[in-house]
Chain A
Amino acid sequence: MSFTESPAVRVALSISIATGLYGVSFGALSVAAGLDFWQTMALSLLLFSGGSQFAFIGVIGGGGSGIAAMSAAALLGIRNGVYGMQLNALLRPQGALRFAAAHVTIDESTATSTGQSEPAEQRRGFWVAGIGVFVLWNLFTAVGAVAGNALGDPKQWGLDGAAVAAFLALLWPRIRGRQPAAIAACCALATVLTVPFVPSGAPILVAAVVAGVIGWFRHGHEQEGMEPDVEPYEHEGHSHVEHGHHGHGHHGRAGDRVGDYRTPRHDSHIRADDGDGGGTQ
């Protein structure tokens, strides 16, 4: 199969454009939070993980300390380590390639790769989505940072409201089921209750402790919270369900866990659990 005919490459390119574009909002919100152009670019180039980047500027913008911002970003990045384990078992990158693979290990490249069943397609999906998002995300971060600097007073343009919307949009695909929504509600409540009593930024870390404890003692819901910000296979219809089940059967060694990453969303118990989830999927 040639590169241009590959379904993984097509999905990877469309996810790169969709995700890359919202780098505009990150760039604009980052300068509104008080970071300068190069600090904003350093986050996109070096930290390169949308959720963690938004967390960092969200804490800084709310008056939190640098160490609180760093901690929130680092905790939100833990799921990338889990993706790394899945992708290492799936793609087995060798030597120096592993160091490059690690940098582009994010929600979107993981979801694109694990949604395919052929090893060659999984590899193409990962690299094209990873590099594609990296290039476009950084390009549009720069555009957003320049535009944000030109806007002047961020409040007049409602950029603080844009940050609220961005966090809700990042959270939204991860709370479709009743249980994830309940976890989100617990952590939101813990945050509200602690805001008046601890320094800015710290309530987010209190919520992280609550979430970590829930995650540690809960079983059988490992895939929850691990959805990408932009779903690569949302418009693929039935073919994607087939892909998932193929993947499950094919890869005995790594497949059991890696397949689990995607397939449970099509299982009947998740569907049932999803009854009041708003039907966004």
Chain B
Amino acid sequence: MNLWLWILLAAALAYGTKLLGYLVPAKWMANPRMSGVAGTLTIGLLAALTVVNTAADGQHLVLDARVGSLLAAAGALLLRAPFLVVVVVGAAAAAGLRLLGLP
């Protein structure tokens, strides 16, 4: 139940952020810092999420089959595979390495 609260709050914040863009005065757009910060935040958060999902297990850093997923996904992206193919490649790498006995 608690999770529902955070889901609905996150949705309200996301919509509020979008709507704010339509309601603020046009002159605010002259401030390039807004989009500068929005851009680097996007890069930084996605990089952090990639790392956490690859190497974190709670508060521990671990190396397991997910590192294989990261490398396989990078290979697929270098070959310009579409998003869904990259995701399937990542899953297959982890599943395959676990069949071979990796944690």
Residues from 1 to 54 in A contacting B, C-beta threshold 8 Å: 18, 21-22, 24-25, 35, 39, 42-43, 46-49, 51-52, 54
Q: Is the CB of A180 within 8 A of B22?
A: no
Q: Is the CB of B66 within 8 A of A195?
A: no
Output the nearest chain A residue to B28 by Cβ-Cβ distance: A85
Residues from 75 to 97 in B contacting A, C-beta threshold 8 Å: 76-78, 80, 82-84, 86-96
Task: Note all chain A residues with C-beta closer than 8 A to B52.
Answer: 58-59, 62, 191, 195, 203-204
Q: Of B42, B58, B98, which contacts A63 at CB under 8 A?
A: B58
Q: Is the CB of B83 within 8 A of A230?
A: yes
Say what secondary structure dominates the interface of chain A: helix
How many residues of chain B are within 8 Å of chain A by beta carbon? 81
A191 to B48 alpha-carbon distance, docked (Å): 6
Task: Note all chain B residues with C-beta closer than 8 A to A126.
Answer: none
Task: Note all chain A residues with C-beta closer than 8 A to B96.
Answer: 158
Q: Of A56, A161, A225, which contacts B38 at CB under 8 A?
A: A225
Task: Note all chain B residues with C-beta closer than 8 A to A86.
Answer: 21, 29
Chain B 35-73 interface 0/1 with A at a Cβ cutoff of 8 Å (1 = within): 111111111111111111111101111000110111011
Q: Does A164 contact B (CB under 8 A)?
A: yes
Q: Of A21, A67, A98, A191, which contacts B22 at CB under 8 A?
A: A98
Q: Of A79, A84, A170, A222, which contacts B20 at CB under 8 A?
A: A84
Q: Does A131 contact B (CB under 8 A)?
A: no
Using A43-B10, A66-B6, A84-B20 as known contacts, list a sample of 7 further A-B pairs with CB atoms less than 8 Å apart, ordered by residue number in A. A18-B83, A52-B14, A99-B19, A105-B22, A158-B91, A161-B93, A211-B43
Q: Does A221 contact B (CB under 8 A)?
A: yes
Most buried by A among B3, B88, B92: B3
Chain A 213-232 interface 0/1 with B at a Cβ cutoff of 8 Å (1 = within): 01110111111111001100
Q: Is the CB of A223 within 8 A of B39?
A: yes
Task: Note all chain A residues with C-beta closer than 8 A to B72.
Answer: 165
How many residues of chain A are within 8 Å of chain B by beta carbon? 115
Q: Does A149 contact B (CB under 8 A)?
A: no
Q: Is the CB of B17 within 8 A of A215?
A: no
Q: Is the CB of A85 within 8 A of B21?
A: yes
- Chain A interface residues (CB < 8 Å from chain B): 18, 21-22, 24-25, 35, 39, 42-43, 46-49, 51-52, 54-56, 58-63, 66-67, 69-70, 72-89, 93, 98-99, 101-103, 105, 155-172, 174-175, 180, 183-188, 190-192, 195-200, 203-204, 206-208, 210-212, 214-216, 218-226, 229-230, 254, 257, 278, 280
Q: Does B100 contact A (CB under 8 A)?
A: no
A162-B91, A171-B47 given; A46·B8 CB < 8 A: yes
Q: Is the CB of A200 within 8 A of B56?
A: yes
A226 to B58 alpha-carbon distance, docked (Å): 30
A46-B8, A49-B14, A183-B44 given; A25·B53 CB < 8 A: no
Q: Is the CB of B29 within 8 A of A89?
A: yes
Q: Is the CB of B15 within 8 A of A103?
A: yes
Task: Please give the distance in Å from B100's CB to the nearest CB on chain A.
Answer: 12
Task: Please give the distance in Å from B4's CB to the nearest CB on chain A.
Answer: 7
Q: Is the CB of B48 within 8 A of A204?
A: yes
A60 to B28 alpha-carbon distance, docked (Å): 35
Task: Note all chain A residues with C-beta closer than 8 A to B78.
Answer: 278, 280
Task: Please give the distance in Å from B97's CB to the nearest CB on chain A.
Answer: 8
Q: Is the CB of B41 within 8 A of A161?
A: no
Q: Of B22, B29, B44, B95, which contacts A210 at CB under 8 A?
A: B44
